[in-house]
Structure 1
Amino acid sequence: MTAGPPPWPGIDDDTDATAEGGVLGNAGTGRTTSADDEDALRERAARAVAAIDAPDVVFAVSRNGRRTLHCGGSTPHPPVPREDLRYEIGSASKTFTGLLLARLIRRGLLTGGEPAAAWLDPGRRTGASPATLAHLLTHTAGLPTLPADFYRRALPAWRTNPYGRYPAERVVDAFLRHRPRHRPGTRWQYSNFGVAVLGHALAGAAGTAWEELLGTHVLRPLGLDGTALRPEDPKTDAVGHGKDGRTPALAFDAGGFAAAGAVRATPHDLLTFLEAHLDPAGSPLAGALSAVRTPVLRRGLGHRHVHTMAWFRHPTDGGPLYFHSGATLGQQAFLGFRPDTGTALAALCTRRFRSRDAFIATAYALLADQ
């Protein structure tokens, strides 16, 4: 892999531009948490859990390094405590992929400006405006949400495991055959397809399987021993449920879309992941963690929608709030953090809500009010 000029502002700088001034983290908030604050937080977490009608629910909060976990659900307590189960986080996996690319850039192995096709088909000639690694990560590569033939191939397993019917080689082939309607970098469209392709391109660039690449550069440096990319143990893997909240769902098979949605993790691992974002300076991935807090894309009327390499970013009275949600066929997740208050939240449930999504709204509100 080769390096060159970085394609994004701030990506080669350890300064966290998102807070409009220096690095903020657990040690930088200048806040202390009183006993009353902790009691209020526990009460709010308990109310949030009670508001979600799902077999298993976990709201895990870290504030200034102190963790509060509240668990519940509509079913009896499982043999393994809910806080120790490994949950599918779906599209929130993209935050891990974003951090991985930032890590590879920080180490001088990539810039993000490389054409993706160069790593997927080395002998292929690229045009004047190729889709780059940065385009894939920021949903600006001109790709649809899913490949054109995805639905046809997935339909026989639509209610069980549609992604499992679309393996890695088909993802890569669909990308190499795709002709975008718009020049890469000019329009934003959320794309599982694009981030999946990015995962294969990074694996090709490194000459390393995706799972090992993520483990080497993100999971092991952060000590995320309770995080995996596939089902590992039926006793400790949370069981998802369909929209009725009763019908069990099969464990999620991401097929060729691992980089876009394969991560499953324990609540404590997710808090460790988020706490690293709150205090980048204390992490072995300091530069990359600061980079993924830096805005790289603004879109919409008045550029009101702000994105970083890994997170959606919303303003609050005290500073920016970062978040990403995700879902599989039977589970949902919400991850977010606020550097101004030193607060991180990992919310998880084992039910897929398909309308009037109280889960995401409840999780977002809990973080926004901290």
Structure 2
Amino acid sequence: MTGPSTPWPGAEEDRDHSLKGGGLGTDDTTLRARLESAVGAIDAPDVVFAVSRSGRRTLHCGGTAPPPRVPRQDLRYEIGSASKAFAGLLLAQLIQRGVLTGGEPAAACLDPGRRRDADPVTLAHLITHTAGLPALPADFYPRALPAWRTNPYGRYPAERVADAFLRHRTRHRPGTRWHYSNFGVAVLGHAVAAATGTAWEELLGAHVLRPFGLSGTALRAEDPKTDAVGHGKDGRTPTLAFDAGGFQAAGAVRATPHDLLTFLEAHLDPDGSPSADALRAVRTPVLRRGPGHRHVHTMAWFRHPTNGGPMYFHSGATLGQQAFLGFRPDTGTALVALCTRRFRARDPFVATAYALLAEE
């Protein structure tokens, strides 16, 4: 039996997909070695690290479980909160096309007859986590507790998300404080759907998935053969497919590694894309906070400095899977990291992926 951080014998799958000409060189060999090391550092049944560098893709897969029938790089993985990068781009698309402004009061979208607040929570506040909302609604926990280890979000449907928001009274004026909120981005999805008269899933398909050719991306599990199976903290107990309930915009996306690389590559090179303005918009800082304003946020990404320029990233997790997405315009590099084990204390997954992207 292999050790906890060693891939199962024969489980490694190394794939190089070249979108530009040229043979393998020393840099490619080094990159493959780095990816192999990163995969080996993660104790999970299935692990994928995928890099696109100047249009050339390199993937390395492994894990503690036997290889699945469908190659790991072809499975669809739950990306949890990294779904917010899709939500941010969708909102930017709608703003750039004049469908929305971002300044719409969310309450008015959800309840047109409601009396307008003096300081309303706007769509822009929701996507930037400055709406003054908690991470989750106050009544989420008692409703979710009976299914806390199996399906907590599925017990909280869309109508409850909207109702909880309309009943909530914020402690701080919207736009004055940052607090990460799944609740807020979930409300964004319902407010945008109400304002446009179109379901969130349909909007995402029309403005992001189909234009970018993301045929391997969806908001729910569809096929047991191609949807990656998550696992609990022990790395052995399978978990149910994630049901986001009324939190679709905040965490429902599942996608293949190649679709996620395609999504990130579009951010690296917006020029020539019909979505160029929106792709540039989600790279623009909209919020700076913390000591010395060191923490920078865009509509869709966390942004950190490197010696060569900024790197953009977002991580996510469900009850049985983890994801990390990031890109660096200065090096033309995009990184996707995925694994099928629930987050646990001192988990090295996000730190490993972040360090790989931050390397000079």
Structure 2 length as normaliser, TM-score?
Answer: 0.93
Aligned match of 1:262 in 238, 249, 252?
Answer: 252
Alpha-carbon distance in 1 for matches of 2:147, 2:23? 49
SS at match of 1:135: helix
- Is 1:106 aligned to residue 96 of structure 2? yes
Alpha-carbon distance in 2 for matches of 1:66, 1:87? 22
Q: Which residue of 2 aligns with 1:156?
A: 146
Q: Structure 1 regions of 5+ residues with no counterpart?
A: 1-31
Partner amino acid, structure 1, of 2:166: L
Q: Which residue of 1 aligns with 2:68?
A: 78
Range that drifts further, 89-98 or 200-209? 200-209
1:184-235 superposed Cα distances (whole Å, 9 cap, x missing partner): 0011000000000000011011101110010001110000000000000000
- CA contact under 8 A between 1:222 and 1:283: conserved in structure 2? no
Aligned match of 2:336 in 346, 349, 356?
Answer: 346
- Is 1:228 aligned to residue 222 of structure 2? no
Alpha-carbon distance in 2 for matches of 1:283, 1:227? 19
Partner amino acid, structure 2, of 1:213: L
Aligned match of 2:281 in 291, 295, 299?
Answer: 291
Aligned match of 2:209 in 204, 211, 219?
Answer: 219
Q: 1:33 to 1:98 in 2, by over 3 A?
A: farther
Partner amino acid, structure 1, of 2:191: A
Q: Which residue of 2 aligns with 1:187?
A: 177
**TM superposition shift of 1:343:** 0.2
**TM superposition shift of 1:46:** 0.5
Q: How does 1:66-215 map to 2 (within 5 A)?
A: 66-215=56-205
Q: Which residue of 1 aligns with 2:347?
A: 357
Alpha-carbon distance in 2 for matches of 1:352, 1:262? 16
**TM superposition shift of 1:85:** 0.1
1:127-160 superposed Cα distances (whole Å, 9 cap, x missing partner): 1100000000000001000000000000000000
Partner amino acid, structure 2, of 1:45: L
Aligned match of 1:49 in 39, 49, 54?
Answer: 39
**TM superposition shift of 1:109:** 1.0
- CA contact under 8 A between 1:320 and 1:339: conserved in structure 2? yes
Q: Which residue of 2 aligns with 1:323?
A: 313
SS at match of 2:59: strand
**TM superposition shift of 1:282:** 2.9
Residue identity over aligned pairs, in percent, reads 83
Partner amino acid, structure 2, of 1:75: A
Partner amino acid, structure 2, of 1:119: C
- CA contact under 8 A between 1:222 and 1:284: conserved in structure 2? no
**TM superposition shift of 1:168:** 0.1
1:251-274 superposed Cα distances (whole Å, 9 cap, x missing partner): 000000000000000000000000
- Is 1:368 aligned to residue 358 of structure 2? yes
SS at match of 2:337: strand
Q: More relative contact order in 1 or in 2 (CA 8 Å, sep 6+)?
A: 1
- CA contact under 8 A between 1:64 and 1:342: conserved in structure 2? yes
- CA contact under 8 A between 1:33 and 1:64: conserved in structure 2? no
> Pairwise CA RMSD of aligned residues?
1.0
1:85-135 superposed Cα distances (whole Å, 9 cap, x missing partner): 000000000000000000000001111111011110011111110000000
**TM superposition shift of 1:283:** 1.8
Alpha-carbon distance in 2 for matches of 1:357, 1:130? 39
4+ runs deviating over 2 angstroms: none
Aligned match of 2:26 in 21, 36, 41?
Answer: 36
SS at match of 1:189: coil
SS at match of 1:282: coil
SS at match of 1:280: coil
**TM superposition shift of 1:34:** 6.9
Alpha-carbon distance in 2 for matches of 1:361, 1:283? 32
Q: Which residue of 2 aligns with 1:5?
A: none
Q: Which residue of 2 aligns with 1:15?
A: none
Alpha-carbon distance in 2 for matches of 1:210, 1:33? 43
Alpha-carbon distance in 2 for matches of 1:34, 1:83? 21
- CA contact under 8 A between 1:147 and 1:193: conserved in structure 2? yes
Partner amino acid, structure 2, of 1:274: L
Name the count of aligned residue pairs: 339
Alpha-carbon distance in 2 for matches of 1:169, 1:348? 31
Alpha-carbon distance in 2 for matches of 1:302, 1:368? 21
**TM superposition shift of 1:354:** 1.7
**TM superposition shift of 1:353:** 2.0
Alpha-carbon distance in 1 for matches of 2:85, 2:114? 30
**TM superposition shift of 1:33:** 9.7
SS at match of 2:50: strand
1:330-351 superposed Cα distances (whole Å, 9 cap, x missing partner): 0000000000000000100000
